[in-house]
């Protein structure tokens, strides 16, 4: 029989703040973290706003350990801070005799140029080199002189995991996945499997990402995936609303401590929830579009339910992927209807992307934390900015106001570019 896996610690760095309960309070109040972009000059972009992490200082989280991680990229810094919060939440640092060879890491981590100005200069010179081989030497000089070697290394998606391993001295299995917007949900699901099969007792899992830079915004604008409501940006993220016009780019990190049940029990750890089910599929369709009949999303949810050995009518809440794009919201609704049947109209659904924006590789982990908190407190976060019903999105999206209710079992969806679909199911321990 598979070993049971529980969550014993949580931490996040979000556009609404850093502390678990204060951010949760803001989510339940329906507050928005969206504002005009300040990280870079976005005036000439079709989308001039985002959901930035404000007031972040890694030194406040790491203290004397900061110097060893001073080269960390923005996303690695978010990951380090969230991991520290989760580690402390689980009281692992106070655990005598913790076998750190049995503690692993599985992250969904992003990527991107850390030093965009110099990256662009090297790229332009590379283009010149392609046109005139006489400029080859000059291109090499620019690339060598202007691109910092350490910061270039920090662009690699696995660097966040490497930093975390160093911070806590953990030597167990360590992985990073970059399956776009599904990455951290997939990471948590795969970390669960590692513990289940006995390859680790504890896994630090979640995701981190920051794409609020010219390259990230350019790419999403060219795909017409971002909202362009520059005059009303605070209400631009409106999942499932008929007037939705794209998602709002966010950033941050969410980290959870996953632990084998008996290991957690032996050390007297608080167990927030148990991870019951995980489903993972590929659409095998288009790179940027979810399958029009939702076949991958349907299969992922059914796989998670089968793995959890629960029926659809046992789900008390669905944390939707809910990006606010026309196609995603319509097809996710279709998929939920297919999986849940008549019960689809009874199960509450919401998308916190309406408040935090889309944290890309970090989104699923942050959204799973809200499921844990919903179970803990018996209250469900709203989908804000919902005012106009869409006949293609006709379910209960908890519009605009948080809702109290009995919550024991939650399902969380994440769907990524490339056709990746991942679903997790968690339940209160008892």
Residues noted as catalytic: 181, 321, 358
Backbone angles phi, psi at 429, to 5 degrees: -85, 130
Report yes or no: 63 and 80 within 8 Å, Cβ to Cβ. no
Residue 420 β-bridge partners: 282, 416
Q: Which has the closest alpha carbon to 177: 166, 196, 193, 197?
A: 193
* Separation of CA 404 from chain center: 25
Q: What does the H/E/C string look like for the chain?
A: CCCCEEEEEEEEEECCECCHHHHHHHHHCCCCCCEECCCCCCCCCCCCEEECCCCCCHHHHHHHHHHHHCCCCHHHHHHHHHHHHHHHHCCHHHCCCCCHHHEEEEEEECCCCCCHHHHHHHHHHHHHHHHCHHHHHHHHHHHHHHCCHHHHHCCCCCHHHHHHHHHHCCCCCEEEECCHHHHHHHHHHHHHHHHHCCCCCEEEEEEEEECCCHHHHHHHHHCCCECCCHHHHHHCCCCCCCCCCCECEEEEEEEEEEEEHHHHHHCCCCCCEEEEEEEEEECCCCCCCCCCCCHHHHHHHHHHHHHHCCCHHHCCEEECCCCCCHHHHHHHHHHHHHHHHHHHHCCCEECCHHHHCECHHHHHHHHHHHHHHHHHHCEECCECCCCCCECCECCCCCECCCEECCCCEEEEEEEECCCEEEEEEEEECC
């Amino acid at each position: 029989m598979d070993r049971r896996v529980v969550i014993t610690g949580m931490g996040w760095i979000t556009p609404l703040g850093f502390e678990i309960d204060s951010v949760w309070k803001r989510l339940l109040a329906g507050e928005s973290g969206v504002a005009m972009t300040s990280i870079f000059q976005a005036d000439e972009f079709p989308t001039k706003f985002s959901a930035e992490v404000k007031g972040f200082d890694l030194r406040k989280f790491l203290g004397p350990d900061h110097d060893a991680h001073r080269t960390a990229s923005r996303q690695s810094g978010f990951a380090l801070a969230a991991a520290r919060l989760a580690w402390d939440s689980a009281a692992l640092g106070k655990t005598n005799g913790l076998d750190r060879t049995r503690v692993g890491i599985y992250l969904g981590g992003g990527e991107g140029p850390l030093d965009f100005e110099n990256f662009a200069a090297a790229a332009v010179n590379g283009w010149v080199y392609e046109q005139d081989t006489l400029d080859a030497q000059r291109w090499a000089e620019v690339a060598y002189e202007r691109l910092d070697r350490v910061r270039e290394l920090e662009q690699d998606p696995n660097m966040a995991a490497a930093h975390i391993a160093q911070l806590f001295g953990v030597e167990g299995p360590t992985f990073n996945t970059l399956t776009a917007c599904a990455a951290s949900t997939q990471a948590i699901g795969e970390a669960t499997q590692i513990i289940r099969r006995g390859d680790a007792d504890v896994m630090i899992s979640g995701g981190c990402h920051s794409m609020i830079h010219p390259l990230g915004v350019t790419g999403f604008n060219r795909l017409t995936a971002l909202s362009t409501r520059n005059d009303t940006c605070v209400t631009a993220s409106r999942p499932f609303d008929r007037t939705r016009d794209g998602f709002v780019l966010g950033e941050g990190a969410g980290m959870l401590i996953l632990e084998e049940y008996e290991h957690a029990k032996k050390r007297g750890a608080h167990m927030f929830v148990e991870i019951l089910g995980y489903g993972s599929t590929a659409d095998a369709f288009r790179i940027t579009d979810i399958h029009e009949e939702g076949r991958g999303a349907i299969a992922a949810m059914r796989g998670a339910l089968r793995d959890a050995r629960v029926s659809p009518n046992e789900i008390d809440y669905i944390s939707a992927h809910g990006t606010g794009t026309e196609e995603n919201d319509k097809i996710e609704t279709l998929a939920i209807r297919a999986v849940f049947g008549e019960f689809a109209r009874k199960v509450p659904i919401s998308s916190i992307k309406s408040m935090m924006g889309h944290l890309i590789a970090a989104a699923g982990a942050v959204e799973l934390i809200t499921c844990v908190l919903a179970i803990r407190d018996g209250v469900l976060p709203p989908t804000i900015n919902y005012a106009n019903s869409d006949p293609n999105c006709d379910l209960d999206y908890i519009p605009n106001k948080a809702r109290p209710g009995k919550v024991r079992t939650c399902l969380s969806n994440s769907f990524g570019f490339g056709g990746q679909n991942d679903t997790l199911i968690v339940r209160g321990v008892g």
